[in-house]
Amino acid sequence: MSDEKFDLVLLDITMPGKSGIEFLPEIKDNDPDVAVVMLTGIADVSVGVKAMREGTFDYVNKPVSLPDFIIRV
């Protein structure tokens, strides 16, 4: 991400190697203005609150309907 600028990053909470919550500060440090939409299948409000505090633009619980997802993006 340091080589290119992005307008939007779609990030999942559960990823191999590093969680989306762990990766989010690196993304925001690299580009504080990038919008990050965090996706999760974990129904835990505290995770969503943490993601929003860390700078997530939006937090989406899966499964999400395509029309709703398009509006969020």
User: Which residue range is the domain that position 12 belongs to?
Assistant: 8-72
Q: Is residue 67 part of a domain?
A: yes
**Neighbouring C-alpha atoms within 13 Å toward the C-beta of 11:** 28
Q: Is residue 3 part of a domain?
A: no
pLDDT-derived band at 56, boundaries 50, 70, 90: very high
Does position 41 have pLDDT exceeding 80, yes or no?
Answer: yes
Q: Is residue 65 part of a domain?
A: yes
Helix (H, G, I), strand (E, B) or coil at 55: coil
CATH number for 12: 3.40.50.2300
Nearest Cα to Cα of residue 52 among 11, 4, 2, 1: 11
pLDDT of residue 43: 79
pLDDT-derived band at 21, boundaries 50, 70, 90: very high
DSSP 3-25: SS--SEEEEESS-SSS-HHHHHH
Quick one: average pLDDT of 17-35?
A: 93
**Neighbouring C-alpha atoms within 13 Å toward the C-beta of 60:** 21
Q: What is the CA radius of gyration of the chain?
A: 12
pTM of the model: 0.85
